[in-house]
């Protein structure tokens, strides 16, 4: 084995050529797509109103959004967009003033195909990353990658409850940017230096005037939670804290959070966190405020080989629950009262007794990838149909949860 | 009829060979770690390609075979978003932490993905598509033997510093008693000169990621230097300088609060090159 890995790993001219060609194609695609959007969504095009004053910390222009992943809504129609590739979170002020008149069930089929039509892409080149509902209007916003390449250009698409799609224009947008990337290291530069470090943003949540960002580094395995006060100030950076969770009172581990939900547990503000390695843990916000290293406790294990992909909080007739979407289990419901009663898991599950920790109910829905609260009556789900393999949008009445 | 089929077959074969030839057999440049004996609780693998790749394909095109040739069931952590670097040429693959961590249900149900004493082959198949949608064509495999788990933190004071003589631009070499993470090695280590400035130069990582070499841009001065290592540096089982990946709290704490966020170790550069490396 040769010692000089530098030679082998030095970027050649080919990627640069590729980048040039790719960016030309992307620019061309963007212009085609933006024209298409005004055609498709002529009556519903989301055009920012020029008159309203800029929110504090915001600028007007074209955000350098390199990818669009995790989404969540903040105050006053602010859509937070996680940009893993650009190492940033953008706060977009979306102009979405009119509540959707639609009431009742929602059924949108063949979402990839329909998005492909809007973005002038084949359905298999449409990658839906996340969905968030604007609580003021009930419109759904999707983050989408235009293609499967790592450098695929992003798009944000709005959907009405009747399934009408329109592209959210990113030129002349009102936005604020929060940089997440670590300051460059002063170490001697190598082709594997700090520039190769990236973070996949797995989830975002807005709570109590603050944006919380969970992510996973492509290099170090720390479980890092980042937080930033909003509005972002100029040159804002997120602060980081490392969080551990304990299992069975015996093992203490760091792991990246896959999805999380600000929630009140035992009367106190807390974070429920779902991990890729399947436990569900709870962290006290007061610990997060105080400490740099925070320990949480495992409440339940959601099944080996399973990955919780999204969580929402619902309430109907005073009965509160958390709904959990899973990669390899059905949609689950946990009652808030059961979460409050939960003790840290101290015993390992066995084949005879496989479900330990907080009890849950398996709901008769599979393939759910994204969840959000639509309104008081419904939650909305983005799910893959197991018959057709296509992606669809459905609602689930809160009264049955 | 049969003759046509034979001629057709020959043409197809010739075309396939020509395509494979034209493509050059080096789509996957390297798989890290490069050693062929790896701890059974191996956490992270890097696959480096010679071209930008399509995302979202690792689940389909990356397979771990055991020594009977059977595919190991779900050995890797599946993520909604794969861990690519900015160039799209390097992907980070994590072994499922739930199966590595003791006591978790995934570990109890499915067992750890790797068992010490057995041989495994990691296969990157030729169907993995590049960013232009073209399959790589040539597969690549890496065979290794799983050895005992590594559940100890790397200790900077266990490293050997092979210091050069002052006045030269000879390389300074750090040697490690274990394999360290290839990517973190490139970004967490620096050398500080007697004036407190960071030494600039070219860095390379040695055989099996067990050494780090700095060839300075300017000659070494006589005096006290410092090796500075960010505590986030991990070995290949995910143990960092201050945290064991998977700690048994009943015997030792997971995090070592006594280890600073940057670990500093002093060494001296003199006119004569020491006959034996500093330990």
- Which chain B residues are within 8 Å of A304, Cβ to Cβ? 98-99, 104-110
**Structure tokens given for B124:** 């990157």
Q: In angstroms, what separates the C-alpha of B105 from chain A's closest C-alpha?
A: 6
Q: What is the chain B residue with the closest CA to A13?
A: B51
Nearest CA in chain B to A125: B133
Residues 17-56 of B with CB under 8 A from A: 29-30, 34, 43-44, 48, 50-56
Judge: B203–A187 Cβ closer than 8 Å, yes or no: yes
> B3 with B121: CB under 8 angstroms?
no
Q: Hey, is the C-beta of A9 within 8 angstroms of any chain B C-beta?
A: yes
User: Is B204 within 8 Å of A276 when comparing Cβ atoms?
Assistant: no
Domain ranges, residue A162 = 21-46+54-179
| CA nearest neighbour of A389 among A369, A373, A374 | A369
**Number of independent structural domains in chain A:** 1
Q: Which residue among B104, B186, B201 places its CB closest to the CB of A277? A: B104
Between chains, do A304 and B105 touch, taking CB under 8 Å as contact?
Answer: yes
Interface test mutation site (partner B, options A150, A275, A329, max chain B beta carbons within 10 A) = A150
- Lowest average pLDDT, out of A14-18, A134-138, B203-207, B216-220, goes to A14-18
Average pLDDT on A213-224 reads 80
Q: What is the CATH number of domain B24-147?
A: 2.60.40.1220
Quote the CA–CA distance of A137 and A120 in Å, as a whole number. Answer: 27
Sheet bearing A391-397, strands edge to edge:
A107-108, A391-397, A378-384, A368-373
Task: Establish if A69 touches chain B: CB-CB under 8 angstroms.
Answer: yes
State the average pLDDT for chain A.
Answer: 80
For residue A307, what is the nearest residue in chain B, using CA coordinates? Answer: B78
Q: Which CATH number fits domain B156-269: 3.20.20.70, 2.40.128.20, 2.60.40.1220, 2.40.160.60?
A: 2.60.40.1220
When CB atoms are compared, the residue of B79, B186, B250 closest to A250 is B250
Q: What is the pLDDT of residues A93-130, one digit of tens each?
A: 999 989 998 887 899 999 999 999 999 999 989 999 99
Contact B103 A303 (CB under 8 A): no
DSSP assignment string, A320-364:
EEEEEEESSS--EEEEHHHHHH-----S---SSS---BS--EE-S
- Per-residue confidence (pLDDT) for residue B223, from 0 to 100: 96
Q: Decide: A179 and A62 in contact? Cβ < 8 Å.
A: no
B182 touches chain A (CB under 8 A): yes
Count A/B contacts: CB-CB distance under 8 Å.
237
**Chain A CB within 8 Å of residue B258 CB:** no
Question: Cβ–Cβ of B34/A247 closer than 8 Å?
Answer: no
pLDDT: is A88 or A103 the higher one?
A: A88
A187 band by pLDDT with thresholds 50, 70 and 90: very low
Is B216:B172 a contact under the CB 8 Å cutoff?
A: yes
Q: Which residues of A380-393 are buried (b: 16+ CB within 10 A; e: fewer)?
A: bbbbeeeeeeebbb
Inter-chain CB proximity A350 and B249 less than 8 Å: no
Percent of chain A exceeding pLDDT 70 equals 73
- Total residues found in chain A within this entry: 401
Give the pLDDT score at B80.
75
Among candidate residues A205, A181, A219, A376, the one with its CA nearest the CA of residue A274: A205
Q: In tens digits, what is the pLDDT along chain B, a chain of 279 residues?
A: 556 665 666 565 555 544 444 444 567 779 999 999 999 999 999 999 999 898 888 888 999 999 999 999 889 987 778 888 878 899 999 998 777 766 666 666 667 889 999 999 999 999 999 888 889 888 899 999 999 999 899 999 999 999 999 999 999 999 999 999 999 998 899 999 999 999 999 999 999 999 999 999 999 999 999 999 998 899 999 999 988 887 666 666 656 667 788 999 999 999 876 555 555
Cα A75 vs. chain centroid, distance in angstroms? 17
Chain A contact for B186 (CB, 8 A cutoff): yes
CB–CB contact A200 B199 (8 Å): no
Judging by beta carbons within 10 Å of its beta carbon (0-12, 13-18, 19+), is residue A13 exposed, middle or buried? Answer: exposed
Omega before A231 within 30 of 0, i.e. cis: yes
Q: Measured between beta carbons, which residues in chain A are less than 8 angstroms from residue B248?
A: 250-251
A93-121 burial by CB neighbour count: b if 16+ within 10 A, else e?
bbbbeeebeeeeebebebbbbbbbebbeb
Among chain B residues, CA nearest to A355: B105
Chain B residue numbers with beta carbons less than 8 Å from the beta carbon of A279 are: 104
Nearest to A289 by CA among A312, A262, A313: A262
Please give the angle made by the CA atoms of B71, B75 and B77, to the nearest 5 degrees: 145
In a domain, A10, yes or no: no
Residue A357 confidence (pLDDT) above 60: yes
Is A127:A384 a contact under the CB 8 Å cutoff? no
Average pLDDT over residues A231-258: 67
ipTM for the whole complex: 0.71
Residue A6 has pLDDT above 90, yes or no: no
Per-residue pLDDT at A2: 33
Whether residue A247 and residue B240 make contact (CB cut-off 8 A), yes or no, is no
Closest in A185, A251, A348 to B187, CB measured: A185
Q: How far is CA A21 from CA A9, A14, A57, B52, B54, in A?
A: 22, 11, 35, 13, 16
Q: How many CA atoms lie within 13 A of A385 on its CB side?
A: 14
Taking an 8 Å cut-off on Cβ atoms, the answer to whether A303 and B74 are in contact is: no
- pTM exceeds cut of 0.80: no
Most confident of the following: A211-220, A276-285, B245-254: A211-220
For residue A102, give Cα distances in angstroms to A79, A142, B48: 22, 19, 49
pLDDT at B185: 93
Sign of the dihedral through C-alpha B97, B101, B104, B107: positive
Contact A230, A58 (CB under 8 A): no
Q: Which two tokens stand for residue A333?
A: 């419901």
Residue of B31, B61, B98 to mutate when probing chain A, most A C-beta within 10 A = B98
Give the pLDDT band (50/70/90) at residue A383. very high
Interchain CB distance below 8 Å, B208 and A221: no
Sign of CA dihedral A74, A78, A81, A87: negative
Residue A103 lies in a domain: yes
Angle, CA A335 vertex, CA A331 and CA A338 arms, to 5°? 125
C-alpha radius of gyration, chain B, whole number: 23
pLDDT tens profile A294-341: 778 888 878 767 888 999 999 999 999 999 999 889 999 999 999 999
Reduced DSSP (H G I as helix, E B as strand, rest coil) percent helix, strand, coil of chain B, to 5: 20, 35, 50
The model's confidence at residue A242, banded by pLDDT at 50, 70 and 90, is: low
Q: What is the pLDDT of residue A301?
A: 79
Residue of B nearest to A6 (CA): B204
Long-range Cβ contacts of A384-389 (<8 Å, 24+ apart): none
Neighboring chain A residues of B246 at a CB cutoff of 8 Å: 251, 253
Within a domain: A96: yes
Task: Please state the length of chain B.
Answer: 279
Of A92, A103, A101, A170, which Cα lies nearest the Cα of A132? A92
Question: Residue B266 is encoded by which pair of tokens?
Answer: 């002093």
Separation CA A339–CA A274 (nearest Å): 14
Put simply, the chain A residues between 197 and 226 with a CB less than 8 A from any chain B CB are 197-198, 200-202, 216-222
Task: Please report whether residue A165 resides in a domain.
Answer: yes
DSSP reduced 3-state for B234? strand
* R_g of chain A, CA atoms, integer Å: 22
Q: Cβ separation of B105 and A349 shorter than 8 Å?
A: yes
A184 touches chain B (CB under 8 A): no
Q: Considering only A339-348, A366-375, B67-76, which range has the smallest mean pLDDT?
A: A339-348
Considering only CB atoms, which chain B residues are within 8 Å of A305?
74, 96, 106, 109-110
Tell which wins on pLDDT, A138 or A280.
Answer: A138
Taking CA atoms, what residue in A is nearest to B188?
Answer: A187
Find residues 228-257 of chain B whose CB sits inside 8 Å of chain A.
230, 232, 234, 238, 240, 243, 245-250, 253-255
Report whether B116 contacts B90 (CB < 8 A): no
Distance from CA of A101 to the nearest CA of B (A): 33
Q: Are A170 and A189 in contact (CB under 8 A)?
A: no
Please, are residues B168 and B220 in contact by the beta-carbon 8 Å criterion? yes
- Pairing relationship of beta strands A239-247 and A224-229 according to DSSP bridges: antiparallel
**CATH 2.60.40.1220 residue ranges in chain B?**
24-147, 156-269
Contacts of A193 in chain B (CB under 8 A): 186-187
């Amino acid at each position: 084995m040769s010692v000089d890995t530098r030679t082998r790993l030095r970027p050649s001219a080919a990627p640069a050529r590729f980048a040039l060609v790719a960016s030309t194609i992307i620019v061309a695609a963007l212009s085609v797509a933006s024209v298409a959007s005004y055609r498709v969504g002529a009556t519903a095009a989301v055009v920012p109103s020029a008159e309203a004053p800029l929110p504090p910390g915001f600028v007007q222009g074209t955000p350098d959004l390199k990818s669009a992943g995790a989404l969540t809504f903040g105050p006053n129609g602010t859509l937070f967009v996680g940009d893993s590739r650009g190492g940033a979170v953008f706060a977009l002020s979306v102009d979405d003033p009119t509540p959707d008149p639609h009431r009742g069930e929602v059924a949108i089929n063949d979402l990839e195909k329909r998005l492909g039509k809007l973005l002038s892409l084949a359905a298999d080149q449409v990658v839906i990353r996340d969905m968030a509902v604007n609580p003021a209007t009930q419109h759904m916003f999707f983050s989408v990658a235009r293609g499967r390449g790592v450098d695929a250009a992003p798009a944000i698409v709005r959907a009405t409850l009747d399934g009408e799609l329109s592209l959210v224009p990113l030129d002349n947008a009102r936005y604020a940017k929060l940089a997440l990337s670590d300051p460059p290291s002063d170490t001697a530069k190598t082709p594997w230096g700090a520039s190769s470090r990236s973070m996949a943003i797995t989830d975002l949540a807005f709570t109590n005037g603050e944006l919380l960002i969970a992510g996973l580094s492509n290099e170090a395995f720390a479980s890092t939670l980042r937080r930033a006060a909003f509005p972002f100030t100029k040159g804002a950076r997120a602060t980081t804290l490392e969080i551990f969770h304990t299992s069975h009172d015996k093992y203490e581990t760091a792991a990246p959070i896959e999805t999380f939900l600000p929630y009140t547990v035992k009367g106190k503000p807390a974070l429920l966190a779902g991990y890729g390695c399947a436990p569900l843990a709870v962290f006290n916000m007061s610990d997060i405020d105080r400490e740099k290293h925070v320990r949480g406790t495992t409440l339940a294990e959601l099944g080996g080989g399973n990955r919780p992909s999204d969580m929402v909080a619902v309430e109907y007739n005073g009965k509160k629950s958390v709904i959990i979407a899973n990669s390899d289990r059905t949609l689950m419901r946990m009652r808030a009262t059961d979460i409050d009663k939960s003790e840290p898991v101290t015993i390992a599950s066995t084949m005879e007794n496989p479900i330990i920790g907080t009890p849950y109910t398996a709901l008769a829905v599979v393939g759910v990838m994204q969840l959000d609260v639509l309104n008081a009556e419904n939650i909305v789900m983005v799910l893959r149909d197991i018959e057709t393999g296509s992606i669809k949008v459905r609602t689930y009445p809160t009264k049955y949860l | 009829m049969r003759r046509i089929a034979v001629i057709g077959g020959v043409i197809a074969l010739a075309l396939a060979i020509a395509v494979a030839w034209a493509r050059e057999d080096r789509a996957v440049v390297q798989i890290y770690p490069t050693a062929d004996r790896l701890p059974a609780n191996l956490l992270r693998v890097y696959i480096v390609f010679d071209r930008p790749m399509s995302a979202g394909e690792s689940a389909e095109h990356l397979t771990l075979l055991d020594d009977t040739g059977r595919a190991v069931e779900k050995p890797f952590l599946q993520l909604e978003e794969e861990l690519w670097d900015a160039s799209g040429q390097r992907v980070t693959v994590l072994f499922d932490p739930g199966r590595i961590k003791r006591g978790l249900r995934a570990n109890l149900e499915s067992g750890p993905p790797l068992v010490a004493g057995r041989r495994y082959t990691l296969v990157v198949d030729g169907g993995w598509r590049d960013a232009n949608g073209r399959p790589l064509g040539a597969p690549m495999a890496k065979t290794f033997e799983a050895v005992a788990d590594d559940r100890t933190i790397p200790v900077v004071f266990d490293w050997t510093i092979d210091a050069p003589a002052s006045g030269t631009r000879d390389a300074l070499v750090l040697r490690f008693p274990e394999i360290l993470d290839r990517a973190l090695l490139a970004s967490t280590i620096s050398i500080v000169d007697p004036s407190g400035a960071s030494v600039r130069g070219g860095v390379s990582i040695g055989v099996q990621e067990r050494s780090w070499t700095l060839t300075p841009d300017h000659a070494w001065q006589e005096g006290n230097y410092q090796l500075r290592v960010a505590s986030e540096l991990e070995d290949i089982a995910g143990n960092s300088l201050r945290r064991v990946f998977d700690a048994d709290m009943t015997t030792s704490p997971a995090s070592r609060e006594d280890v600073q966020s940057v670990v500093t170790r002093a060494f001296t550069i003199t006119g004569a090159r020491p006959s034996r490396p500093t330990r």
